[in-house]
């Protein structure tokens, strides 16, 4: 019995040692699990932070795309306005060239008219009817003062007459050769 008691006691000690060892292993396992849980929680927090940062980056990227689209639209409008301004400037330039050509043409015609007028001796008189100056009733031009130019003049004489009425009308011009 003693031997049996000793064997049982040895078995109890070994079992106890195994229980202690198992208990230590369980404690170590629990510590390891707690460490893993802590690491998982930290990883989860890091994943949440990364997710939030990714969402912010996506929002920022969306805003950047919107700004780029706005800049593109503004650029298109500016380009269109510049093209319109260039077209308007070309039209104005063409109009100014046309006006300049017209002015040159009118100046040439004025020179031609001046040269034509230089051939005439305009020394007639204009008679305007008013209450103090009688006008012939039959509107006879011979009753108006006549121009007597020099006998050797090679220019034409012009006499001007009124219509003889009380209202002023456009004078009529007659060109006559008095050579």
Strand order in the sheet with 172-176: 120-121, 156-161, 172-176
Distance CA 90, CA 103 (A): 20
Tokens 């229980």, located at residue: 19
Asked if residue 150 lies in contact with residue 178, where contact means CB atoms within 8 angstroms, the answer is no
pTM over 0.85: no
Tokens 């802590």, located at residue: 38
Distance CA 74, CA 160 (A): 70
According to the model, what pLDDT value does residue 132 have? Answer: 54
Distances (CA, A) of 60 to 49, 55, 56: 16, 8, 6
According to the model, what pLDDT value does residue 35 have? Answer: 95
Residues of the chain with pLDDT under 70: 122-179
Asked if residue 64 lies in contact with residue 72, where contact means CB atoms within 8 angstroms, the answer is no
Distance CA 59, CA 52 (A): 10
Q: Considering just the CA atoms, what is the radius of gyration of the chain in Å? A: 61
């Amino acid at each position: 019995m003693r031997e049996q008691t000793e064997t049982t006691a040895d078995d109890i000690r070994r079992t106890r040692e195994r229980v202690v060892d198992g208990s230590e292993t369980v404690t170590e396992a629990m510590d390891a699990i707690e460490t893993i849980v802590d690491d998982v929680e930290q990883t989860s927090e890091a994943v949440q932070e990364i997710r939030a940062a990714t969402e912010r980056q996506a929002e920022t990227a969306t805003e950047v795309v919107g700004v780029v689209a706005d800049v593109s639209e503004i650029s298109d409008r500016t380009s269109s306005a510049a093209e319109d301004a260039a077209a308007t400037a070309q039209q104005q330039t063409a109009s100014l060239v046309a006006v300049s050509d017209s002015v040159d043409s009118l100046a040439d015609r004025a020179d031609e008219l001046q040269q034509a007028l230089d051939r005439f001796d305009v020394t007639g008189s204009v008679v305007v009817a008013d209450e103090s100056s009688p006008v012939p009733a039959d509107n006879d031009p011979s009753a108006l003062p006549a121009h007597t130019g020099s006998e050797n003049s090679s220019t034409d004489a012009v006499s001007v007459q009124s219509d003889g009425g009380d209202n002023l009308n456009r004078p009529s011009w007659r060109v006559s050769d008095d050579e």
